[in-house]
Structure 1
Amino acid sequence: MADLARHPAHRYGNRPTMKDVAALAGVGLKTVSRVVNGEPGVTPDTERRVREAVDVLGFRRNDSARVLRKGRTATVGLVLEDLADPFYGPLSRAVEEVARAHGALLINGSSAEDPGREQELALALCARRVDGLVIVPAGDDHRYLEPEMRAGVATVFVDRPAGRIDADAVLSDSFGGARDGVAHLIAHGHRGIGFIGDRPHVHTAAERLRGYRAAMEDAGLAVRDEWVSLGPTDPERVGSAVRGMLTAPEPVTALFAGNNRITVTAVRALAGHPRPVALVGFDDIELADLLGITVVAQDAAALGRTAAERLFRRLDGAEGPPERVVLGTTLLARGTGEVPPPAG
C-alpha cells in the first residue's frame, strides 16, 4: 500500500475521491464503486485492497449524487409520544437499525403526548424533505398529513392507528392481550378485578378496556363502575385509583394495569397493603422478572422493525391499499398474577 503522507489527497487536505481510492488500490473506478456500494462481482483479495485504501485515505461515500438520482434525501422521521417512556427505546432502536440498513438517516423527536406538538413536529420533518415518517400518534385527527402523503411522503403509524385518514399501521393486539391477562386472573379464582387505564381517547387504552370487559363477560362476571378508572398516568391519579378500588364497598382482589407506568405505580401502592392483591400489567417493565410481576408483554422492537420495513417497502414502490398489521402479545406469569383471592 502506498505511503499515505505522500498521497495528494492527504497532502493538500483534499477530500479523498473514488479516483484516489482506485489509484491507491490499483483497481478501476467500477471496482471501487462495487465494493463501496456492496455489489457482487469482486474477488475477496481485491475487495480487501479496496477497503484498505478506503481506511488509509479516510474515504467516505458521498450520497448526494445518489440522492439526487433517486429523488430522495435518504432521511426518515420518527415521531414518538414520550422519549422518557422505556417502551419506546427498543422501538426507536429497531426503526433506526432498519433505516441504517437502507442507507438512511433517522431523525426523531417527541410529541410529549400533545397532538399540537405532534402535528408541528411531523410537518417540520416534512418541510425538511424526509422521505417518510413513522409516527406514534398523540392525536386522533391526521388529516393534516394528507397533502404530504399525496406529495410522496411515505407514512406508517405504529402502536396506534391514524385518525380520520387511511394509512398503514402496525399495532400490538391490545384487546387480545388484555383479555388474556384478565382471563388469567379469573382462572386463579378472582371475581372482583379492577382496571386502571390511560385516558379514554387513547386507542390502546380503549382497546385494553374492551379486552377487560370481554374477559369479564366471557366469565359471566359483572363489572362495577368503581372497578374501572381511566385517566392520566401520573402517580397521584393512579395511586388514588388503586386505593379507591381496594377500599370500595365491594373491594377488588386483583388489578389489571393498562400500561407500564400504571404498573409501576400500582406495585408501589400495593407494597403497603395489608392483604395480598393479584396484579397483571400490560407491557413488561424493568426488573419485572426479578420482582415476580406478571405482565402481558408486547414486542416493542418488533413493532418498530415491522413499521420501518413497511415504510421502506412503500418507498421502494410497493402499492396497494393501506394495511393494518397486528402483532400478538405474550402473557408472562411470574407470580403477582397467580396470587389467589383471600379465603372466605
Structure 2
Amino acid sequence: MTRLSTRRTATRPTMADVALEANVSVKTVSRVVNHEPGVRPDTAARVIAVVERLGFRRADSARPLRLGRTRTIGLVVEDLANPFYSQIGAAVEREARIRQHQLITASAEGSPTRERAVLAELVGRRVDGLVVVPAGTTPGVDPEVVASGTPIVYLDRPVRGPADMILSDNPGGIRSAMEHLVAHGHRRVGFLGDDAQFWTARQRREAFAAVHQDLHLPGAPRICMGPHTPATVGAALESWSRDKDPVTAVITGNNRVTVHTLRAMRRLDLPLGLVGYDDFELADLIDPPITVVHQDPAALGQKAAQQLFVRLLGDGSAPTTVVMPTRLIVRGSGGPHGRRATVSPIRTGPAGQQV
C-alpha cells in the first residue's frame, strides 16, 4: 500500500488504481464514474469514496460525483428538423449553458414507444433533469422518470398526472386569427389542422369550431386534419373551392401545414386569405407576406428550462402550469378573396409587433 501511495503522488491515479483499492473490477469503476446502471448501491458508494480519496479525475466527473449531479439535462422533442423545435432547443441550451450544464437532445419522432426508450436512456445516464414535448394522444407522466426522482418539465402539450407544464394559449391564437379574417370580410373560412393525435392540433381544431360558432359564421365549420402532405392539402382546398359557397380564407395548424398550403395555392391558382399558426422563415418576404399566429418557441423553451432549474435548486412546491400568450403578426395575407396585397400596410416594431 505504501508503494502504491508513493506512485500516486508522482502520477495521476488511474481507474486501475481505484479498482485495486476498492477491490472491484475496472469495469465496475467505469460504470460508476460514467453513471451507468448495474452496480449495487453499496459498491458504488465504496468506489466513489475511493475516487474522492485518491483524487481520481476523468474530465469533469469528480465534481458531479461529489454533488450527486452530472451537470447534464435532457431535451426530448417531436422532430429536431422542425424549426419550431430547433428554436426551443436553442433556448433550452442557452439556459443550460448559463448554469454550466450540458444539454443532450433527442427526438421521439411522435412515437410514445420511442419516447419511453429515449427517457429510459437519459435516466440511465443520470441526467439532472428533463424537458419533454410529450408524444401520443393522451400522454401521462412517465413512470420511470417519476421512480427515478428526476425533475421533469413538460412543454407544449399537457400530460395526465401532476407535473410542471409550459403551454401556449392555443385558443387565444386561433381566436385572433379568426377575428382578423372576419374583420377583412371573410365569412367562409377553412381550417387545415395537424395530426389529431397531438393535443395541440385537437385544441386548435376545437377552438376553431368554437369561434366559428361564436362569430355566427354561416354553415358548418370546414375542417381537415392531418397528417398533411402537399397532396392532401391540395385535395382539401380543391374540394372547398368547388362548394356552392367556397371558402375565401384558411387557417393552418402549424408552420409545415402553412408551407404545404402555400404550394397548393400556387399550383391551383387559389388567391385565398391565409393565416398560419407559427411564424416561419421568409414569411414576411412572400407575396403577399403571411400573417401568422406567433407563439414564440424561444420563450417557451426558456421558460421550461428556467422552471427545471428552479426544481434542481430544491423547490419542492406543487407542480405548476404556465400558459404563454400568443401574438398575431399582421402582414398581408388576410385580405379579401381574389385580391392580393390589398391590406393597408402595417407598421411593425423591432419584433414584428403591430404598432
After TM superposition, the score normalised by the length of structure 1 is: 0.77
Q: Is the 8 A contact 1:119 1:144 kept in 2?
A: no
Aligned to 1:169: 165
Say if 2:173 and 2:326, in contact at 8 Å, map to a contact too. Answer: yes
Give distance in 1, aligned partners of 2:111 and 2:242. Answer: 34
The answer on 1:193 being equivalent to 2:189 is yes
What is the letter of the counterpart of residue 185 of structure 2?
Answer: G
Contact persistence 1:83–1:89 (CA under 8 A): yes
Code of the aligned partner of 1:204? T
Report 1:55-94 matches (<5 A): 63-94=60-91
1:216–1:223 contact (8 Å) kept in structure 2: no
Q: Secondary structure at the match of 2:224?
A: strand
Corresponding residue number in structure 2 for 1:290: 285
The alignment's C-alpha RMSD in Å is 2.3
Give matches, 1:39-188, under 5 Å. Answer: 63-140=60-137, 142-143=139-140, 145-162=142-159, 164-188=160-184
1:202 counterpart = 2:198: yes
Pairing 1:236–2:231 present: yes
**Cα shift at 1:341:** 3.3
| Cα separation, 1, equivalents of 2:139 and 2:210 | 30
1:298 and 1:330 in contact (8 A); partners too: yes
CA distance in 2, matches of 1:274, 1:308: 44
Distance 2:243 2:162 in 1: 43
Find the aligned partners of 2:123 and 2:247 in 1 and give their Cα distance: 49
Q: CA deviation at 1:149?
A: 2.1
Query: Aligned equivalents of 1:233 and 1:263: distance in 2?
Result: 10
**Residue in structure 2 matched with residue 4 of structure 1 by the alignment:** none
Corresponding letter in the other structure for 1:280: V
1:279 maps to 2:265 = no
Partner of 1:267: 262
CA distance in 2, matches of 1:147, 1:109: 17
Give the Å deviation of 1:137: 1.2
CA distance in 2, matches of 1:223, 1:156: 41
Structure 1 SS opposite 2:83: coil
Distance 1:175 1:68, change over 3 A: same
Give the gaps of 5 or more residues in structure 1. 1-11, 16-59
Q: What's 1:318 paired with?
A: 315
1:211 match: 207
Distance in 2, Cα, partners of 1:186 & 1:239: 23
CA shift in 2, pair 1:140/1:315, >3 Å: farther
Instruction: Specify the code of the residue in structure 2 equivalent to 1:279.
Output: L
TM-fit CA distance, 1:121? 0.8
One of 250, 258, 262 as aligned partner of 2:253? 258
Counterpart-to-counterpart distance in 1, 2:273 and 2:140:
43
1:198 match: secondary structure? strand
Do the aligned partners of 1:243 and 1:269 also contact (CA within 8 Å) in 2?
no
Deviation (angstroms), 1:275: 5.1
Change (3 A) 1:207 1:129: same
Decide whether aligned partners of structure 1 residues 160 and 268 sit closer, same or farther in structure 2, where only a CA change above 3 A counts: same
Residue 67 to residue 274, structure 1, CA distance change in 2 (3 Å) = closer
The TM-score normalised by the length of structure 2 is: 0.75
Structure 2, unpaired ranges of 5+: 1-9, 14-56, 340-355
* Ranges of 4+ aligned residues in structure 1 off by more than 3 Å: 12-15, 60-63, 140-144, 272-275
SS at match of 1:290: coil
Deviation at 1:83, TM superposition (A): 1.1
Which moves more between the two structures, 270-279 or 78-87?
270-279
The one-letter code sitting in structure 2 at the alignment partner of 1:230 is M
Residue pair 2:71, 2:102 contacting (<8 A) in 1 also: yes
Distance 1:266 1:14 in 2: 62
Partner residue, 1:305: 302
Q: CA deviation at 1:224?
A: 2.2
Which shifted more, 293-302 or 68-77? 68-77
Measure how far apart 1:342 and its partner are. 5.5
